[in-house]
Amino acid sequence: AQSVAQPEDQVNVAEGNPLTVKCTYSVSGNPYLFWYVQYPNRGLQFLLKYITGDNLVKGSYGFEAEFNKSQTSFHLKKPSALVSDSALYFCAVRDGGNFNKFYFGSGTKLNVKP
C-alpha cells in the first residue's frame, strides 16, 4: 500500500532562516512524489514533483526537495524563509500502479515569523 507521513503538525522558523518540512513515504514500486501548498481559504497548489532523475528537485517560489531512497524521505526545503511562505504543506505520493490515485499526508503548518 502507498502512504506518506508528515511527522510534524507544525514547523516554526524565523524569516531568513532555512526551513525543512519532513515527509517519509511507503510505496510498493517506484515512488512518484509531490509537494503541494495550501494558503488560507484556497485549494492546494502544486509546488514540485519527483518522478525520476536528480535527487534534488527544484520547484516554485524557491522551494526544493531532496529525494532519499535509502531513508524513504522527500523533505521540502528552502534556504531562506519568507513570512509569505506561511501556509499548510502537503506531501503526496501517486500510486504507480493505479496511475492517478494520490495519497496525501496529514499536512504540516509552516509558520514563518518576522
Partner 1 sequence: DAGVIQSPRHEVTEMGQEVTLRCKPISGHNSLFWYRQTMMRGLELLIYFNNNVPIDDSGMPEDRFSAKMPNASFSTLKIQPSEPRDSAVYFCASSFRGLAFFGQGTRLTVV
For the bound state, the minimum distance from the C-beta of residue 71 to partner 1, rounded and expressed in Å, comes to 23
Tell me, rounded to whole angstroms, the distance of Cα 25 from its chain centroid.
11
Between 6 and 19, CB nearer to partner 1: 6
For the bound state, the minimum distance from the C-beta of residue 18 to partner 1, rounded and expressed in Å, comes to 26
Residues of this chain that bind partner 1 (CB under 8 A): 32, 34, 36, 41-46, 49, 51, 90, 94, 98-107
For the bound state, the minimum distance from the C-beta of residue 34 to partner 1, rounded and expressed in Å, comes to 8
